[in-house]
Amino acid sequence: MSDPPIHAEGLVRAFAGTPVLAGVDLVVRGGEAVVLLGPNGAGKTTLLRILALLLRPGAGRLALFGTDAGAAPPALRRRIGYVGHESLCYPDLTAAENLAFYARLFDVPDAAARIAELIGWAGLEAAARRPVRAYSRGMAQRLALARALLHGPDLLLLDEPFAGLDPEAVAALQHRLGELRAAGHAIVLTTHDLERAAPVATRLAILHRGRVAWTQEGAPEPVVVAAAWQAVVVGRA
Amino acid sequence: MRGALAILAKDLRIEWRTRESLASVFVLGVLLLVVLTVAHDPTPEAAPALAPAVLWVSFVFTGLAGIQRGFLLERENDCLAGLLTAPVDPADIYAGKLAANVILLAVTQGVVVPLAGLFLHADLWPVLPGLFAVLLLGNVGFAALSTLFAAVAARTRARETLLPLLLLPLALPLLIAAVQATEAVLAGGLGAAREAVAVLLAFDVIFTVAGWLLFAYVVRD
């Protein structure tokens, strides 16, 4: 059996002495889509940034695809696609230029065709030659998603990926994530919008006070999730 | 090296499109040149002696402004995270940013030096090759150090204040050597500036290697 894309044990992280993650255990296998829920400040973004190798955990062990994340070799980064709260795209470059830049960094083969395909998928054909500075929130988010998918990562880490998207873009993203999951890619996404994330989820987890406080395998049942939220978050508030 | 070249091309493209650094650096450079020349009000005979100090004071302030802007590009939209999630060695990021900064400083020098020659009655043409070598050495050393510290400062809230505070004390040996070398070149050619050139060379090597090695610790959490 191949190594899981994510194998995290006891991840701990604090900022200026304030603990944010207090021992997160998480294993995500290929073909899984884990949706992380949690109140503001639960540590979702911090966890995702650690998984994207942007932050180091203060303690704990993280292996990605069987490789110790502490070493973080460039080849490991090639297998990860990350969408953060911001687009990670240069405002003075156009969408096509941003994607071309990242295609060079990721050494994407046949980059021009791949960029054209993703710009089409993101519905940005008409705006592809405009500077990103002129984009709306939703357009910037679609570009951020296209950027994360550009190099065909095996592991997708998406922080609030549905934020700012119109219903058409939400459906396109859900469809794409479904395809990727079916093809064996692993997905971890954080959201406050369970309704939009539910169609792609194979597992649900609630992160609270820096720990995975509740998990459920399979498609989420809203009633069950609401009860869990009530017990885990509201009950322990 | 692929990453470094991509970052260099990207920075130059953004600069060419916005001309934000070049415009501010150009105006500041010319302003400093005029103010320093007018403040000293030298006789035509004494004016060339002022050229080394006037040139390097102009380069330091314009360089600071330009290099700071280069790293602010990476903060907007969290673009630095985009670079750090890519399969690129942080040393390559440093190399790309350094090369862009060297080019930016060189363009500034290309504008300020002829103007300084004009204002200060310094005949630069006969000493141009030597002067070019000294300017390049000073440029590389200043860019090597400031690229590293701009990355440190960009992560802090007081970045505008912090960069000069971190940079200028460490850049002092470079600036003294650069002024001395420029003085010697203007007086008699590069041969007379051997010691100062050696200091510049050593500074360039030490801080380029230090930046190359330390950049990962500066930009990564």
What tens digit of pLDDT does each residue of A29-83 get? 999 999 999 888 889 999 999 999 999 999 999 999 999 988 778 889 999 999 9
Higher pLDDT, B156 or B31: B31
Cα B198 vs. chain centroid, distance in angstroms?
18
Give the pLDDT confidence score for residue A1 in this predicted structure: 60
In single-letter form, the type of residue at position B110 comes to: G
All residues at 6 or more sequence positions from A81 whose CB lies less than 8 Å from its CB, including other chains: A148, A149, A150, A151, A153, A155, A156, A157
What span, in angstroms and rounded, lies between the C-alpha atoms of A15 and A17?
Answer: 5
What tens digit of pLDDT does each residue of B2-47 get? 899 999 999 999 988 888 777 887 888 888 888 888 887 777 777 7
What tens digit of pLDDT does each residue of B102-112 get? 998 898 888 88
Give the pLDDT confidence score for residue B79 in this predicted structure: 93
Give the pLDDT confidence score for residue A103 in this predicted structure: 96
What's the maximum distance between 2 C-alpha atoms anywhere in chain A?
53
3-state helix, strand, coil in chain A (%, to 5): 35, 25, 35
Please answer whether residues A83 and A157 qualify as being in contact, where contact means their C-beta atoms are separated by less than 8 angstroms: yes
> CA nearest A8: which of A151, A147, A184, A155?
A155
User: pLDDT class for A237, splitting at 50, 70, 90?
Assistant: low
Q: Please name the member of A53, A88, A104 whose beta carbon is closest to the beta carbon of B82.
A: A88
> CA nearest B70: which of B135, B116, B20, B131?
B20
- Kindly list the residues from chain B whose CB atom is less than 8 angstroms away from the CB atom of residue A102: 82, 86
Other Cβ atoms less than 10 A from the Cβ of A105: the count is 24
What span, in angstroms and rounded, lies between the C-alpha atoms of A137 and A142?
Answer: 9
Please answer whether residues A44 and A31 qualify as being in contact, where contact means their C-beta atoms are separated by less than 8 angstroms: no
Average pLDDT over chain B, rounded to an integer = 87
- Least confident range from A8-17, A70-79, A131-140, B32-41: namely B32-41
CB contact under 8 A, B88 and A105: yes
- Counting every residue written for chain B, the total comes to 221
What tens digit of pLDDT does each residue of B38-84 get? 887 777 777 777 888 888 988 888 888 888 888 888 888 899 999 99
ipTM for the complex shown: 0.89
User: pLDDT class for A236, splitting at 50, 70, 90?
Assistant: low
In the predicted model, is pLDDT for residue A222 greater than 80? no
In single-letter form, the type of residue at position A236 comes to: R
CB contact under 8 A, A86 and B2: no
Q: Strand, helix or coil at A112?
A: helix
Parallel, antiparallel, or unpaired for β A18-28 and A6-15?
Answer: antiparallel
Give the pLDDT confidence score for residue B120 in this predicted structure: 80
Task: Compute φ and ψ for A133, nearest 5 degrees.
Answer: -55, -30
Task: Compute φ and ψ for A156, nearest 5 degrees.
Answer: -110, 125
Give the DSSP H or E segment for A158: strand A155-159
Backbone dihedral region of A73: left (phi > 0), alpha (psi from -120 to 50 degrees) or beta?
beta
Question: Tokens 């992560």 belong to which residue?
Answer: B155
- Kindly list the residues from chain A whose CB atom is less than 8 angstroms away from the CB atom of residue B73: 90, 92
In the predicted model, is pLDDT for residue B171 greater than 60? yes
From B87, which residue of chain A is nearest by alpha-carbon distance? Answer: A74
* R_g (Cα) of chain B, nearest Å: 18
Tokens of A15: 């900022």
Average pLDDT over chain A, rounded to an integer = 90
- Kindly list the residues from chain A whose CB atom is less than 8 angstroms away from the CB atom of residue B93: none
Q: What is the DSSP letter of A30?
A: T
Give the pLDDT confidence score for residue B181 in this predicted structure: 92
H helices present in chain B, as ranges: 2-18, 20-40, 47-75, 79-84, 90-119, 128-154, 159-188, 194-219
Q: Please name the member of A77, A90, A132 whose beta carbon is closest to the beta carbon of B87.
A: A77
Give the pLDDT confidence score for residue B173 in this predicted structure: 92
Q: Strand, helix or coil at A61?
A: strand
